[in-house]
């Protein structure tokens, strides 16, 4: 995978996660008290993970092209790990409050 391909994949994923987070924030603004607490907990858990993903994207973007072949495997692995943490956070959250998304 080239640097540009990886960055495109990452940016697409981050945009998707940010859209989901915005949806959560909107639901938190109109939900029941109990649901709001669950939503706020999920938002507090997910926001830093998305910020970490953005930091990883910046790290990849700043990698010099002539160094890309040397570091691409570790950067791709780092992104996969950050992405998995976000996905795990979403899965944990949505299984506990599925009714909010029906």
Residue 84, CB half-sphere, CA atoms under 13 Å: how many? 6
Q: What is the pLDDT of residue 41?
A: 80
State the residue range of the domain holding 38: 3-101
Cβ-based neighbours of 21, under 8 Å, separated by 6 or more: 43, 46, 47, 50
The answer to whether the CB of 21 falls within 8 A of the CB of 47 is yes
Count the domains in the chain: 1
- Among residues 33, 78, 29, the alpha carbon closest in space to that of 55 is found at 78
pTM here? 0.70
- What tens-digit pLDDT sequence spans the chain (102 residues)? 788 988 898 889 889 888 888 887 887 777 666 667 777 787 888 888 888 888 888 888 888 888 888 888 888 888 888 888 888 887 777 766 665 555
């Amino acid at each position: 995978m080239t640097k540009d391909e990886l960055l495109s994949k990452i940016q697409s994923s981050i945009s998707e996660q940010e859209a989901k987070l915005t949806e959560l924030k909107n639901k938190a603004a109109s939900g029941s008290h109990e649901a709001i607490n669950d939503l706020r907990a999920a938002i507090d858990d997910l926001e830093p993970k998305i910020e970490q993903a953005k930091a990883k994207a910046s790290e990849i973007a700043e990698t010099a092209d002539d160094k890309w072949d040397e570091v691409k495997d570790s950067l791709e692995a780092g992104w996969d790990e950050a992405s998995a943490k976000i996905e795990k956070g979403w899965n944990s959250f949505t299984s506990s409050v599925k009714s909010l998304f029906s």
